[in-house]
Amino acid sequence: MKKTIFVLSALLVAAPAFAVTTHATDEGVAQAHKGAVSAKEKLHQAQHRGQGLRLRSEHAAQGKKHDFGSKVNEGARKTWDNTKEGAETAWDKTKQGSQNAWDKTKKGSVRALDKTKQGSAKAWDASKEGAGKAWDSARQRARELKNNVTE
């Protein structure tokens, strides 16, 4: 019984250290995600510029540089690229918002668990104290009864 109480006490004392470690890791992951998103956006913008330049050079090589059809084609390409970039940005923000909400949920759960542990520890301490008092009282009454019987 004492060993179990000792182990539970050690876990309660060590729990905040585990929470701090997890929290620091989550922040590092969030920073890495932000860097990856901006790098991905820059990469896609460069790819789209390159595709636009390639399309213009093809039209220039075909002698259609000032053609209405080639201008429409280039404009449509640029609009499509902007739409894709906007959709990617919106999706990334949605994912980030979901991740932030999940992180807040985890933090709330950890806080609730900590409060539950604290409440359980207080209740356990009160139970131990009450049981000790009841045991002492029962022993005292037994002694008194023994003394009364022997007299």
How far is it, in rounded angstroms, from Cα 48 to Cα 40? 12
110-127 confidence digits (pLDDT tens):
999 999 999 999 999 999
Tell me the C-alpha distance between 108 and 106, whole Å.
5
Token readout for 49 is 């510029």
pLDDT digits (tens, 9 = 90+) for 126-150: 999 999 999 999 999 999 888 888 7
pTM greater than the 0.85 cutoff: no
Cα separation, 150 vs 143, whole angstroms? 10
Residue 65 DSSP one-character state: T
- Cβ burial 9-22 (10 Å sphere, 16+ → b, else e): eeeeeeeeeebeee
